[in-house]
């Protein structure tokens, strides 16, 4: 399969994502410059971490207007799997592809450390290889990772099972001490209603080999490879139909 790794001015995890896809998973990965208008036949899209456009105005606020984002939005609307990592998650929020916003970390400091996240839901292209409640040790590196949304939005996310990852302790229990940035409800990652767009602040692409301290993040990218190659067989009937109904209407099938 083929990954498209979108590169914005200031991206710094693009090569990490490309390395994980090609060197670890053995798949194809192509860099797509933010001024491009085509994803060049990609099967999955990664918006990587970094500081797109220097994080001027707000994180992701300028990147949302990049020409490539029109292609990313159409790809997602057609059911294509999109993963936003750290700054990529912030871009998805600014682009309105995921609900909510990012605030400064509650400690008003840049945080760079390994954290524990629990997999809350497994019916997305990026978690189907996980098991419910699985905990992953993955690094974070951000200054504005404090996820916020209004209470009614959080209630809707909970009801729709759109909260995909939470910060927890080693036992898988979400606590204030295990929350590195103050995110509401310990949210580390979430998905859209169709479940094909996922954003998370931790960096799974930086945890794909034991030599770098953890290989727990590999399951996130392994999941989308299985999703793309497995088609309907990779998901339950209801989930597959939900993720592909729009794609079929867009393609006129």
* Residues 229, 198: Cα–Cα separation, whole Å: 19
The reply to whether 203 belongs to the active site is yes
- Of 34, 53, 86, 142, which residue is the catalytic one? 86
- Contacts of 211-217 with C-beta under 8 Å, sequence gap 24+, read 213/114, 213/139, 214/114, 214/136, 214/137, 214/138, 214/139, 216/136, 216/137, 216/138, 217/20, 217/136, 217/138
Six token digits for residue 59: 């994180």
- Of 120, 191, 203, 222, which residue is the catalytic one? 203
- Of 94, 120, 144, 205, which residue is the catalytic one? 205
CA distances for 43 relative to 5, 31, 96, 144, angstroms:
11, 13, 22, 30
Q: Half-sphere exposure of 130 toward its Cβ, with a 13 Å CA cutoff?
A: 25
Category of 116 on φ-ψ map: left (φ > 0), alpha (ψ -120 to 50) or beta: beta
The reply to whether 209 belongs to the active site is no
* Residues 173, 197: Cα–Cα separation, whole Å: 25
> Does residue 207 sit in helix, strand or coil?
coil
> Does residue 223 sit in helix, strand or coil?
helix
- Which residues are designated catalytic? 86, 203, 205
């Amino acid at each position: 399969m083929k990954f498209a790794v979108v590169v914005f001015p200031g991206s710094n995890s693009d090569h990490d994502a490309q390395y994980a896809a090609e060197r670890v998973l053995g798949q194809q990965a192509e860099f797509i410059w933010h001024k491009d208008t085509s994803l060049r036949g990609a099967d999955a899209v990664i918006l990587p971490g970094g500081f797109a456009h220097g994080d001027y105005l707000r994180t992701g606020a300028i990147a949302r207007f990049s020409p490539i984002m029109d292609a990313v939005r159409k790809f997602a609307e057609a059911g294509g799997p999109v993963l936003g990592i750290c700054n990529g998650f912030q871009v998805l929020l600014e682009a309105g592809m995921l609900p909510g916003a990012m605030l400064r970390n509650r400690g008003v400091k840049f945080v760079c450390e390994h954290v524990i996240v629990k997999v809350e839901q497994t019916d997305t292209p990026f978690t189907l290889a996980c098991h419910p409640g699985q905990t992953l040790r993955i690094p974070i590196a951000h200054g504005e990772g404090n996820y916020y949304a209004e209470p009614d939005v959080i209630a809707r996310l909970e009801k729709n099972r759109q909260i995909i990852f939470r910060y927890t302790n080693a036992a898988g229990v979400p606590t204030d001490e295990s929350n590195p940035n103050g995110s509401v409800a310990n949210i580390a990652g979430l998905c859209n209603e169709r479940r094909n767009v996922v954003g998370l602040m931790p960096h799974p692409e930086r945890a794909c080999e034991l030599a770098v301290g953890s290989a727990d993040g590999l399951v996130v990218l392994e999941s989308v490879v299985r999703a793309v190659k497995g088609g309907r067989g990779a998901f339950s009937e209801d989930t597959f139909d939900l993720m592909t109904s729009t794609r079929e209407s867009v393609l006129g099938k």
